[in-house]
Amino acid sequence: MLTAALLLASVPAPVVNVPALSQQYLAWRPGEIRCDGQAVAAAVMQRPDIALATTDPQRVRSVAYRFAIDDAGRPHSITREGDAFVPFAQDIGPALAASRFPAGAKRADCTVRYTPQFASLEQAPIADLAAYSIFPAGPKLPKTGWDRLGAIGNCRDRPRPAVLLRAYPDFSKVAATPGARDWSLVAFDTDADGRPVNARVAHGTGNADLDAAAVEAVRASRFAGGARTGCLYPYWRAAGRLTAPDKPDEGQMRPADARCPAKLDWATRPNSSYPPAYRQRAIEGWAILSFDAAPWGEVGNVKVLDAQPSADFGQQAIQILRSGRVAPSAQGATGCVETVRFKMPDHYGQFADEE
């Protein structure tokens, strides 16, 4: 076996010319939503983040979700069908959690399938390129995209206008959208003295407060470099906090034959980590888990009993719980029940990032 391996290793590998894949625009489009067998229309369907993909489109498959809708029109019990990794799909679950349906129509057994749509950067919608330039979920927007955004005017010609004064909105007075970041891309020209003129919203998410504040901030800014046309500047507002659904009493989920103290003594506290895509949208959640602890303190047999508003919080909670270690004991413990809460910081939303 050793000789054969050496002989094989000495044979040059065949050269295979693989064509380079170009960077493509990727958007996820939701299909028909059905609940209990009937088609249902969303009041607000939040779009998952745009991606720039350098991959074979055939490798990115559609993905289906199951969920329910409460009396307020909020999706919950969100679960993705299948457990295979889906590239560029990390924001689909959070976007669905931030969507809204008409209130007063509680629904169960809802399904929706998201399909990937690819296009070249030359064919991608301008507004989506603008959104990606503000919130890049991967590589920065390439020159092809920037050329399309700044195709009008001479503001990108070098030397570019120097910023003498950049004004910003008072974000505390701009209403935030729960679970979604808002943005306004302001287009403007400058006169010979560097004063912005003809300021207007070119693209955005439609947050009226932010649009008005963004235009006023551009008008208050000042630039050097003389008269220019086709200038662009974005402002964005962090997502508003989307609080977690009500949580049941974890005591009711404790197994009847459980042998676990009411309060565990942790030798090593579990590491806290928030699901990144949900943190970005300020979506809070919780997960209730059961587990056992070995006499030497190792945590095992971890199971999710319930997680809201999405199963993603349950998967994250499993990792968190397994990172901890219970204080050693003679008998260990079985049937323990613990709640992991995912809560945005109390100071969140006091200040919004703007560039």
What are the residue ranges spanned by the domains of the chain?
24-124, 150-237, 250-342
**Cβ atoms within 10 Å of 305's Cβ, excluding its own:** 18
- Total Cβ atoms within 10 A of residue 100: 17
Cα(52)–Cα(119) distance, rounded to whole angstroms? 10
Instruction: Tell me how far apart the alpha carbons of residues 198 and 230 are, in angstroms, rounded to a whole number.
Output: 10
Banded model confidence at residue 225, pLDDT cuts 50, 70, 90: confident
Burial of 45 (0-12, 13-18, 19+ CB in 10 A): middle
The C-alpha angle with vertex 163 and arms to 158 and 169, in degrees rounded to 5, equals 135
To which residue do tokens 């399309």 refer? Answer: 148
Closest alpha carbon to 76 in 321, 338, 316, 314: 314
pLDDT of residue 352: 45
Q: Using CA atoms, how far apart are residues 330 and 60, in angstroms rounded to an integer?
A: 50
Cα 308 to Cα 341: distance, rounded to the nearest angstrom: 10
pLDDT tier, 21 (very low <50, low <70, confident <90, very high otherwise): low
d(CA 282, CA 212): 24
| 130 three-state secondary structure | helix
Dihedral angle, C-alpha 234, 238, 239, 244, nearest 10 °: 170
The pLDDT > 90 percentage for the chain reads: 83
Over the chain, what is the mean pLDDT? 91
Owner of token pair 């009937």: 38
Question: Residue 181's closest CA among 94, 88, 69?
Answer: 94
Provide the token pair at 309.
């508003």
CA 292 from centre of chain: 33
Asked whether 273 and 319 are in contact (CB, 8 A), the reply is yes
Residues 249-303 pLDDT 10s:
888 898 889 999 988 899 999 998 999 999 999 999 999 999 999 999 999 999 9
Q: Is the pLDDT of residue 17 over 70?
A: no
pLDDT in tens, 304-335: 999 999 999 999 999 999 999 999 999 999 99
CATH topology of domain 250-342: TolA/TonB C-terminal domain (3.30.2420)
pLDDT in tens, 113-135: 999 999 999 999 999 999 999 99
Angle at CA of residue 88, ends 83 and 90, nearest 5° = 60
pTM confidence score:
0.89
Residue range 24-124 forms a domain whose CATH class is alpha beta
How many CA atoms lie within 13 Å of 344's alpha carbon, on the beta-carbon side? 22
SS3 state at 18? coil
To which residue do tokens 């206008």 refer? 161
Class of domain 150-237: alpha beta
Do 150-237 and 24-124 have the same topology in CATH? yes
Q: The tokens of 235 are what?
A: 């402002």
User: Does residue 5 surpass a pLDDT of 80?
Assistant: no
State the average pLDDT over residues 230-241: 97
Q: Is the pLDDT of residue 59 over 70?
A: yes
Predicted local distance difference test score (pLDDT) of residue 353: 42
Mean pLDDT of 91-110: 96
Write the CA distances from 140 to 105, 128, 182, integer angstroms.
42, 14, 19
Cα 267 from Cα 51, distance rounded (Å): 42
Q: Is the pLDDT of residue 55 over 60?
A: yes
229-241 CB burial, b ≥16 within 10 A, e <16 = ebbbbbbbbbbbb
Question: Is 168 a residue whose pLDDT tops 90?
Answer: yes
Q: Which of 199, 196, 213 is nearest to 352 (CA)?
A: 213
**Residues facing 182 on adjacent strands:** 237
Report whether 199 contacts 188 (CB < 8 A): yes
Contact yes or no for 342/278 (Cβ under 8 A): yes
